[in-house]
Amino acid sequence: MNWTIVQPLIKATPETWARIASCLSLVALVFMVLPLFVDSPLLLVVGMSLSHVLGLMGVLCFAVAVLKEVLAVHRPIGSGATQNDTKNGVHSPEGK
């Protein structure tokens, strides 16, 4: 397995995971809505299948984001940073 691809995901912040979840859910929503407007049997079948898969992946990514946030596993040990320690919307070890 190519760990160089996986490692950035493991180290990613909860916000990154939440963005991935948001994007997946948005695409899933498109596939849920599209068959309502386009009269195509193929789109109906593919749309229903893909929307469920992508939606589930979105929920899983969101669960990872929440777990990382709650457990704070994404922050360097000893940095002293918490989820409320922000500076201009970015996690800051200074605590400001």
Partner 1 sequence: MSSLGVLTLIAAASAASILLFYLWRGPLLSLKWRLALFLGVAVLPTFAAGTSTVDGLERTTQRDFCGSCHVMEAHYDDATNLQSTSLAARHTRNHLFGENSCYKCHANYGLYGYPLTKMEGMLHVYHYYLGEYGSMTLEEAVGKIHINKPYPNRNCMHCHTGQGTFWQGVPDHASVKEDALSGRISCSSAGCHGAAHPFAKEAQDAMKGSHDWSKIEEVTP
- In the complex, the residues that contact partner 1 under the rule CB under 8 A are 14-15, 18-19, 21-23, 25-26, 28-29, 32-33, 35-36, 39, 41-42, 44-45, 47-48, 51-52, 55, 58-59, 62, 65-66, 69, 83, 86, 89, 91
What is the rounded distance in angstroms from the CA atom of residue 25 to the CA atom of residue 55? 5
- For the bound state, the minimum distance from the C-beta of residue 67 to partner 1, rounded and expressed in Å, comes to 11
Closest by Cα among 12, 6, 20, 25 to 68: 12
Closer residue to partner 1 in complex, CB, 10/87 = 87
What is the rounded distance in angstroms from the CA atom of residue 44 to the CA atom of residue 60? 24
